[in-house]
Amino acid sequence: MTLEELRNQIDALDRQLVELLSERARAAQMIGHLKAATQLPVYEPAREKVIYSNVRAANKGPLPDIELTHIYERIIDVMRALQRDELASERNAQAHPTGELPGHDAGAADAETGKKQ
């Protein structure tokens, strides 16, 4: 294969990875909703160990297990942050069902004085 063909192959693989990561993120968001409903914590170290074990078991190379685990550590960090954002949004929506945020008055303020009109 030529350099250009190999780069095209990598570009196609990258697009597939992006789609798979997006699908994984959507699943993580749904899990975040379920965790919120059942009062489960976002961080579950036992589950993460299972994921790392599954990844190492599926690894056929050429990436060493430790490098693949590092990649998955980052993926899980991002997915965990996504779940935390989802949980925070849900808690905020439950605490403020009208859409008003605490400390924000609905009335307009005069631009110069900052006092309500």
Give the model confidence (pLDDT) of 2-19 as tens digits.
Answer: 999 999 999 999 999 999
Distance CA 18, CA 25 (A): 10
Q: Is the pLDDT of residue 87 over 80?
A: no
Give the model confidence (pLDDT) of 41-86 as tens digits.
Answer: 889 999 999 999 999 999 999 999 999 999 999 999 999 999 888 7
Distance CA 66, CA 51 (A): 13
Higher pLDDT, residue 94 or 47 = 47
Distance CA 92, CA 97 (A): 8
Give me Rg for the CA atoms of the chain: 22
In the block, residue with structure tokens 């590092």:
70
- Architecture of the domain defined by 11-95: Up-down Bundle (1.20)
Number of Cβ within a 10 Å radius of residue 87: 16
Q: Domain map of the chain by residue range?
A: 11-95
User: Which tokens sit at 25?
Assistant: 């993120």
Q: Is the pLDDT of residue 104 over 90?
A: no
Distance CA 5, CA 16 (A): 17
